Amino acid sequence: MVLKFHNEIITIDSWRPDETYDGVFPKGAREKEVYFSPDNPKPTCIKSDWRYLFKLSRSRSWCPWQFWVEVIAYRLGCLIDVPVPPAYVGLNRQYQTGEDTYGALIEWFYDERKDMYIEGGQFMGQLIKNYDRKKGIQHNWELLSRLKDFIPDTIEYWAGVFTLDSLIGNTDRHQDNWGWILKGAKQNPEDYKLSYSPAFDNGTALGYEIREKDFVKYQDGNRLNRYLTHPQRARHHMKWSLNEREPINFYEFVRKFVVQFPKAKPIMEGHLSFSREQAKETLEPLPEMVTDKRCRLTRKRLDFMLDLIFKRKKLLEETLEQCGS
Q: In what order do the strands lie in the sheet with 179-183?
A: 116-119, 179-183, 193-196
Residue 105 CB, nearest distance to ligand ADP (Å)? 10
Q: Which of 19, 23, 26, 213 binds ligand ADP (CB under 6 A)?
A: 26
Residue 53 CB, nearest distance to ligand ADP (Å)? 5
Letters for 86-125 (x = contact with ligand ADP by CB under 6 A, - = none) are --------------------xxxx---------x------
List all residues 6 or more positions away from 199 whose beta carbon is below 8 Å from its beta carbon.
Answer: 73, 77, 82, 83, 84, 160, 161, 164, 165, 173, 178
Q: Can you tell me the distance from the alpha carbon of 130 to that of 256, in angstroms, rounded to the nearest whole number?
A: 27
Tell the burial category of 222 from Cβ atoms under 10 Å away from its Cβ (0-12, 13-18, 19+): exposed
Residue 261 CB, nearest distance to Mg ion (Å)? 26
What are the counts of helices (DSSP H) followed by strands (DSSP E) for the chain? 11, 9
Q: Can you tell me the distance from the alpha carbon of 263 to that of 159, in angstroms, rounded to the nearest whole number?
A: 9
Q: Can you tell me the distance from the alpha carbon of 16 to that of 64, in angstroms, rounded to the nearest whole number?
A: 25
At how many degrees (to 10) do helices 276-283 and 299-322 cross? 150
Q: Can you tell me the distance from the alpha carbon of 161 to that of 164, in angstroms, rounded to the nearest whole number?
A: 5
163 touching Mg ion, by CB under 5 A: no
Out of ligand ADP, Mg ion, none, which partner does residue 92 contact, by CB within 5 to 8 A per kind?
none
177 touching ligand ADP, by CB under 6 A: yes
23 touching ligand ADP, by CB under 6 A: no
176 touching ligand ADP, by CB under 6 A: yes
Out of ligand ADP, Mg ion, none, which partner does residue 38 contact, by CB within 5 to 8 A per kind?
none
68 touching ligand ADP, by CB under 6 A: no
70 touching Mg ion, by CB under 5 A: no
198-217 residues near Mg ion, rule: CB under 5 A? 201
Pick the stretch among 142-150, 154-162, 169-177, 182-190 that binds Mg ion (CB under 5 A): 169-177
Nearer to ligand ADP, 85 or 136 (CB): 85
43-62 residues near ligand ADP, rule: CB under 6 A? 53
Q: Can you tell me the distance from the alpha carbon of 316 to that of 255, in angstroms, rounded to the nearest whole number?
A: 9
Out of ligand ADP, Mg ion, none, which partner does residue 310 contact, by CB within 5 to 8 A per kind?
none
Residues 144, 138: contact at Cβ < 8 Å?
no
Q: Can you tell me the distance from the alpha carbon of 155 to that of 153, in angstroms, rounded to the nearest whole number?
A: 6
Element (H, E) at 103: strand 101-107
Residues 181, 267: contact at Cβ < 8 Å?
no
Q: Which residue is nearest to ligand ADP (CB)?
A: 28
Q: Which of 177, 197, 282, 319 binds Mg ion (CB under 5 A)?
A: 177
Residue 86 CB, nearest distance to ligand ADP (Å)? 8
Residue ranges in contact with ligand ADP by CB under 6 A: 25-26, 28-30, 53, 85, 106-109, 119, 176-177, 200-201, 203
